[in-house]
């Protein structure tokens, strides 16, 4: 029996427990295949005998930027919102939506000029969510115990 899909709005407020990021504004974007996370100074570094990915996570909630390292990453060509292909690093991390922890791929991108530091794309949404653009922050409302009226 197929799982029922959760209704999600145009935006939501999400948590990234692996990165220590909580209550981060995210835009739901069915036009994007891959999800994206706002980062700066993304580069490869040598740590001992290993090559790791170093990046600074920028938290737009006022918290200072924090440096992270990942030894599990890939590199891929991604078409940005302007239709231009660019090489980006991709990490797997956990995101919490509607109390569910989902392991998902996120490209690391400079989203400084964009309103939302996180973009949730089709790969994460597929077979899990139905998007209702007239709704906002449904997962966050559930998390905080606010009344959610999906009518």
H/E stretch holding 138: helix 138-144
| Integer angstrom CA distances of residue 59 from 19, 72, 110 | 10, 22, 12
| Integer angstrom CA distances of residue 24 from 66, 97, 126, 139 | 15, 11, 21, 12
What is the pLDDT at residue 117?
87
- CATH code for the domain of 103: 2.40.70.10
In a domain, 104, yes or no: yes
In a domain, 114, yes or no: yes
In a domain, 150, yes or no: no
Nearest to 96 by CA among 118, 64, 66, 122: 118
In a domain, 70, yes or no: yes
Count up the domains in the chain and report the number.
1
| Integer angstrom CA distances of residue 9 from 61, 86, 124, 134, 141 | 21, 29, 14, 7, 11
Per-residue model confidence as pLDDT tens digits over 109-121: 888 777 888 999 9
Least confident of 5-9, 12-16, 119-123, 146-150: 146-150
What is the pLDDT at residue 49?
86
Per-residue model confidence as pLDDT tens digits over 49-101: 888 999 988 766 666 788 988 888 999 888 876 778 889 999 999 999 999 99
């Amino acid at each position: 029996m197929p799982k029922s899909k959760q209704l999600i709005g145009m935006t939501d407020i999400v948590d990234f427990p692996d990165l220590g990021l909580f209550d981060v504004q995210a835009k739901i974007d069915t036009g994007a295949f891959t999800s994206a996370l706002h980062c700066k100074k993304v580069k490869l570094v040598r740590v001992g005998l290993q090559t790791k990915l170093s990046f600074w996570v920028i938290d737009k909630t006022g918290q200072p930027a924090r440096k992270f390292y990942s030894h599990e990453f890939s590199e891929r060509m991604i078409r940005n919102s302007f239709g231009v292909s660019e090489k980006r690093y991709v990490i797997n991390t956990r995101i919490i939506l509607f109390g569910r922890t989902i392991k998902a791929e996120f490209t690391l991108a400079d989203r400084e000029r964009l309103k939302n530091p996180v973009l949730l794309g089709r790969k994460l949404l597929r077979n899990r969510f139905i998007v209702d653009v007239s709704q906002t922050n449904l997962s966050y409302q559930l998390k905080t115990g606010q009344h959610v009226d999906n009518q």
